[in-house]
Structure 1
């Protein structure tokens, strides 16, 4: 089981659609921010600062699944609870639960791969080093 890190969001007027509820793409934006926040809070440097693996660009998103339960609106404080659900060699799955107090607003899973930039400029997925896994445990 991994650590669970909380990333807080204040919902702004501009995050909402004309009906006054959070426009759905914002949840993906917040989960992405929570993903990066998770690793920093686990004590890891920014991805581009890593020397192992060399030329690391971070973990681009490969797949996302989101399930909405109830709406959120302007002025609310939301907390994104993030953890690693599964490690798979070069790929890992992060699970996010967006909460308003004790109420589950939505949940999502992101599949990401740790990648490096090759000398020809292309990206290549590489195994996630043990020290990164340990920092997140």
Structure 2
């Protein structure tokens, strides 16, 4: 299945008083890495693929991570993101964050392809993943 690699330089503001990345910031990194993964697969920026496919977005419905090694201000980490499964309207993503070539974090996400409910525009509903998206991610 499709994969992509992103680099992130750890900033001072990403860190807690102990000088290591405050763990919620990793989930922000992973969210950006998922957007980069899909942007690479679709060969267009997130705002364009959202408009192109007429969706509201890809909200996360499940996530988790195993933290093995800390990262600190100034570290440049690599995030390898890959699609792990494609359901009717959901898909899985695995992120592996490397620091100095060693696995620092292994994380997963479950995302849902969603749009507006045609009968109630205030409500979002899951939509089937289109065939062209399935082909790009498969």
* TM-score with structure 2 setting the length: 0.90
Output one character per residue of 1:70-104: Cα deviation in whole Å (capped at 9) or x when no partner. 10101000111001001111111100001113211
Cα RMSD for the two superposed structures: 1.3
Spell out, residue by residue over 1:7-64, the C-alpha distance to the aligned partner (whole angstroms, 9 max, x if none). 110001111111111100010000000001101111244343224xxx3112111111
Please name the residue that 1:129 is paired with: 130
1:23 is matched with which residue?
22
The CA distance in 2 between the partners of 1:66 and 1:84, in whole Å, is: 16
Using the alignment, how far apart are the partners of 1:9 and 1:126 within structure 2? 32
Structure number with the higher helix fraction is 2
Quote the residue 2:42 is aligned against: 43
Alignment of 1:67-86 (within 5 A): 67-86=66-85
Instruction: Please tell me whether the aligned partners of residues 44 and 135 of structure 1 are also in contact (alpha carbons under 8 angstroms).
Output: no
Structure 2 spans left out of the alignment, 5+ residues: none
* TM-score, scaled to structure 1: 0.91
Structure 1 ranges of 4+ moved more than 6 A: none
